[in-house]
Every structure is written in C-alpha cells, then in structure tokens.
Amino acid sequence: MEHPFFQNHFLILGHRGVPGEAPENTLASFRAARQQGADGIELDIRQCKSGELIVMHDARLNRTTSGRGFVRAKTLQQLKTLRITGGNGQERIPTLEEVFREFIGDLVLNVEIKGYPRRADGLEKKLIALVRRYNAVNRVIVSSFNPIPLRRIRKLDPEIATAFLVDRNFFIHRTEKAIMKLAGIHAIHLEASLATLPFVTHLREMGLHVLVWGDIPFERIPELKAMPLDGIITDYPQQVRQMLEGLQP
C-alpha cells in the first residue's frame, strides 16, 4: 500500500545506527548514521517494567550492557544506571522518546517491535501516541517478525506504516499467506538473500513496498539497485550510499 513514508527514492537506513562506529542502538550510533548521510535508522524497541519504551535488541541485558537479567524486569531508573558495553563507556540505554526528540527532524525511523506478549501490554498504544505527539506519521515505519503487534497497530491507527519482517526461517511460500492475513500492511522487510528480481517484482505487484536487510555483500549492491526495491537497511550506510552514487547514470 502506498504510504508517504516511502519518498520515491531508494532509502538507506542504518541498522541499529552504524554499529561499526558506536555501540548498536545508542544515540551515538544514530548520530553516526546521520553524520554518514543515512536517510534514517532502524532500531529495536522493548517495554521495561515501569512501562517506558526503550531501545534494545536483546531480551536480556547481558550482551550489550553492564547489567544482567531481562529488560522487562527492570524499571527505567534501574536501566539508566547501566553502561552500554563498548564505545566510550558513556552511552546509556536510550528511551524511544529520546530518539524521537533528537532525530525525528533529520532521520526517518524504522521502529522494530521486539518481545511478543500474546496479550496487549500497551506497547503499541504508547508507540502510536509518540508518533502522533511528534506529528511523525510520514517519518516512521513500524516493523516486526511477529504479525500480532502489526495487526494491533493497524487496528489502532491504520495511518501508521507497517512492515512485516521476513527472514530465512520463514518459508517464502508462507510469506504470501501471512501477507494476506496481514492485509493492510505497507511493506515487507526482506532478508537480502531472499531478494530475487522475480520475488521482489511479485511483492511490488501485490502493492507492497520492499526493503532488504541483513548481511549484504557489497558485490550485490548493483544487482539490488536494479530491483524495484524501496531501500536497504544496512550496517554500512556510508559505503552503500557511495556505491549507489557510483552507479548513477
């Protein structure tokens, strides 16, 4: 489905910011994406115990912070005492609101919902409220591997762009069934090894926008550029931008 988030040009989004420049999913990493000329960033969100939406990939704190245990078992106050591993040691776990406040004027945001409670826990409502408060319907796309939060978003606020994430664990022939069930979503975010010209063309003909993500060898950039894609989610926004510019006629 057409949506103003897609601006008629090939979008380059920094995956968790630019994780090679600063720790993933931190304000420093998002600043690096802005500085490298990315159109936007992809980031992962979860809800913590005190109810705020925070930016974190894993369910547990162990890999990326000085803390231990589950994000959902900690309050924001507890989370803010933790240091992010790597970088200059100064980064803290950002809230989604902090990201909106600093970046929504400069970057589009792909907010990926992690953590899949069966029963609604208010995450989607809070996310929608934030998008509305920042008047950012044209600047945000919400994605997930799980169709349930996407359906909730669609029901609550159908104007917000939604994308279903597809990876190699998800059989391609199941993708279409899922898309049908999810009728009303705007895009598929496809793991790049699944991106072939016929498949991407087929998805576009179904009226879906398509972005690719994952471990993408630079040699594939020209081939991907030739597909009817809407963009790429990459750890290397600057290099991808340079390669794409090199391909301009």
C-alpha 213/C-alpha 192 separation (Å) is 5
Name the phi and psi angles at 148, rounded to 5: -60, -50
* Of residues 112 and 230, the one with the C-beta less far from ligand G3P: 112
Count of residues near ligand G3P by CB under 6 A: 10
C-alpha 216/C-alpha 227 separation (Å) is 15
Smallest separation, CB 232 to ligand G3P (Å): 11
DSSP string, 129-158: HHHHHTT-TTTEEEEESSHHHHHHHHHH-T
Smallest separation, CB 77 to ligand G3P (Å): 26
Smallest separation, CB 231 to ligand G3P (Å): 12
Name the phi and psi angles at 237, rounded to 5: -60, -40
* Among residues 21, 42, 91, 124, the one that binds ligand G3P under rule CB under 6 A: 42
Print the binding letters for residues 217-246 with ligand G3P: x by CB under 6 A, - otherwise. Answer: ----------------x-------------
Find the catalytic residue in 15, 186, 189, 209: 15
* Among residues 14, 18, 39, 44, the one that binds ligand G3P under rule CB under 6 A: 44
Cβ-Cβ contacts under 8 Å for 152 (sequence gap 6 or more)? 120, 124
HSE-CB at 37 with a 13 A cutoff on CA atoms is 7
Note if 209 is an active site residue. no
Q: Does 112 bind ligand G3P (CB under 6 A)?
A: yes
Note if 173 is an active site residue. no
Cα 185–chain centre separation: 15
Q: Which stretch binds Mg ion (CB under 5 A): 1-9, 36-44, 89-97, 183-191?
A: 36-44
What is the set of active-site residues? Answer: 15, 57
